[in-house]
Amino acid sequence: MARLEIRDLSFAYPAHREINTLENVSLSIAQGEYVVLCGRSGSGKTTLLRHLKTTLTPHGVRSGEILYGGKPLCEISLREQTAKIGYVMQNPDDQAVTDKVRHELAFGLESLGCDQKTMRARVAEMACYFGIQGWFHKDVATLSGGQKQLLNLASVMALQPEILILDEPTSQLDPIAASDFLGTVKKISRDLGTTVIISEHRLEEIFPAADRAVVMEGGRIIADDNPRRIGSLLQRNGHPMFAAMPAPVRVFYAAGGEGESPLTVREGRTWLTDTVAAFPKVKSLPAEEKEKKAEPFALQLQDVWFRYEKNGKDILRGVELQLSAGELHAVVGGNGAGKSTMLRSICGICKAQRGKVRVFGKAVEKYGKALFDGCVSMLPQDPKSLFVKDTLWEDLREMTDDEAEILRTAKLCCVEELLDAHPYDLSGGEQQRAALAKALLTKPKLLLLDEPTKGIDSFFKETLAAIFSRLCADGVTILMVSHDVEFCAKHAGSVSMFFDGQILTTDTPRRFFGSNSFYTTAANRMSRHVFDYAVTAEDVAALCRANREERA
């Protein structure tokens, strides 16, 4: 029997009465199911999820009904909803209410008026189950993003909900923290039988665990099926959502596979071995030329050393990097390796204690303020740190008085439609592009990007990539620091590995990821036993097709 049933739900926000954000949505979810909700941003995922908890339901015009255990949701008391339906949101920072980890775990129980004994027991239980004992007494402010989000999950689970709703919970996390988080969600679903409804962009890890995938588009549900079959439907319709599917799914259908697709890298490997045999005729794509850096360099780091405190540890330990003009260079590497510090040293915020940073041949400290006037500009990790005005237009006006220039840049960044909007009314991807426009108004020749794809769905990523390539064509050099291996593999001109304060290797994406075995794309991990240097799903699919034609 369906635990949760949505019947014919339509909804419109008061500000946009004419557009239905949700349109005739019907969905029923059984006890213990693990359902993943996908769709591009703005497709109505969050609005739908928020309808599943009365306190979070937005104001607006609504029709249809939502039944929980056969009873209309609005008739179920807030108390019961609090205990039965858990909701985790996107932003790890703002969800925490109190200053101590232990207090945060108890918050929900406090609200329900639990007695001390029960609270103590439940809090202890949660701390153990989620492995929080080590930071139980810490201040929430000292935790990393991943820890914060895990804490948010734990403090919701402390109420022992029957249904757990997660709205893009990992979009602000780095891949390792995201993977930890999703692992925990999977564990909850498996160990406790909690019903899970999750909306996510990062599907690679969720698909194998999910029972069902529901795809939304324009407020409607357009597909609702087993994750193994959902890809075929999307591919047949040529739906853009297909690009967001996990690499094995994309490779499978793009190479002409029929029926149920593999979901994990392991399944993908098996399938690939079966299809193209262990010794394929065509082993690799036409070779790329080995990356050669040509003078004059746009950016040159020579043996750069940096530490924050006299007796502190060295964050940069002899960084060597060269960028030729007009290229998009990506630096990948783990958290806390010092990538952001490297960007800071290029901006002159962290002055290197040893070594030289040269921008277009001139030492960075000789520029003074002129460095940011038509030479270097940086897009910060969080676009919100650049918005200071009421509308995007005014924000851009802060940079320059040249209105034609603003319009040109806005157009380049695809935000010309949004100029009158309040920066905080934009979606994550739009904010990112708006901030980029602001950074570009200094007319930089060298653009630094700190995690530009964080929290952005695959469509916005493509838009962003298009903007970058246009910029590069105009002669702008881009240095990007990122965790997003797939994005770098697809769009960067060259890639460097940053580890322990140093740049270890630099190469073209194919050669770079092709020779890594762990730190590489899913498509590469899936295909490395049969193909060389195939790093994107498109690469692998192309090779599969080539082999089939060869055989035929």
DSSP 130: T
CB 460 within 8 A of CB 240: no
Radius of gyration of the chain (CA): 25
- Residue 266 CB contacts under 8 Å (≥ 6 apart), including other chains: none
Alpha-carbon gap, residue 220 to 222, rounded angstroms: 6
User: Of 233 and 480, which CB lies nearer to another protein in the complex structure?
Assistant: 480
User: Of 79 and 356, which CB lies nearer to another protein in the complex structure?
Assistant: 79
**Min. distance of Cβ 136 from another protein in angstroms?**
10
**Min. distance of Cβ 384 from another protein in angstroms?**
5
With residues binned 3-state (H G I as helix, E B as strand, rest as coil), the percentages for the chain, rounded to 5, are 40, 20, 35
User: Of 279 and 424, which CB lies nearer to another protein in the complex structure?
Assistant: 424
**Min. distance of Cβ 168 from another protein in angstroms?**
13
User: Of 117 and 292, which CB lies nearer to another protein in the complex structure?
Assistant: 117
Structure-token pair, residue 324: 């030729």
**Min. distance of Cβ 85 from another protein in angstroms?**
8
Alpha-carbon gap, residue 519 to 332, rounded angstroms: 9
Alpha-carbon gap, residue 138 to 132, rounded angstroms: 10
**Min. distance of Cβ 44 from another protein in angstroms?**
18
Which residue matches tokens 């990523």? 461
Q: Which amino acid, 466? A: A
**Min. distance of Cβ 307 from another protein in angstroms?**
18
Give how far Cα 382 sits from Cα of 40, 331, 431, 451, 482, Å. 21, 18, 9, 9, 13
**Min. distance of Cβ 234 from another protein in angstroms?**
32
CB 158 within 8 A of CB 166: no
The sheet with strand 61-68 has its strands ordered as 22-30, 2-12, 61-68, 71-72
User: Of 116 and 311, which CB lies nearer to another protein in the complex structure?
Assistant: 116
Among 348, 334, 289, which Cα is nearest to 485's? 334
User: Of 96 and 233, which CB lies nearer to another protein in the complex structure?
Assistant: 96
**Min. distance of Cβ 222 from another protein in angstroms?**
28
User: Of 143 and 497, which CB lies nearer to another protein in the complex structure?
Assistant: 143
**Min. distance of Cβ 242 from another protein in angstroms?**
32
User: Of 359 and 534, which CB lies nearer to another protein in the complex structure?
Assistant: 359
Give how far Cα 203 sits from Cα of 420, 451, 525, Å. 34, 19, 16
**Min. distance of Cβ 122 from another protein in angstroms?**
10
User: Of 163 and 542, which CB lies nearer to another protein in the complex structure?
Assistant: 163
Encode burial over 225-257: b for 16+ CB neighbours within 10 A, e otherwise. Answer: eebbebbbbbbeeebebbebbbbbbbbbbbbeb
Give the angle subtended at the CA of 147 by the CAs of 141 and 152, to the nearest 5°: 85
**Min. distance of Cβ 95 from another protein in angstroms?**
4
Task: Report the interhelical angle of 265-276 vs 247-254 (nearest 10°).
Answer: 20
User: Of 235 and 341, which CB lies nearer to another protein in the complex structure?
Assistant: 341
User: Of 252 and 387, which CB lies nearer to another protein in the complex structure?
Assistant: 387
Give how far Cα 273 sits from Cα of 48, 341, 462, 529, Å. 41, 43, 31, 8
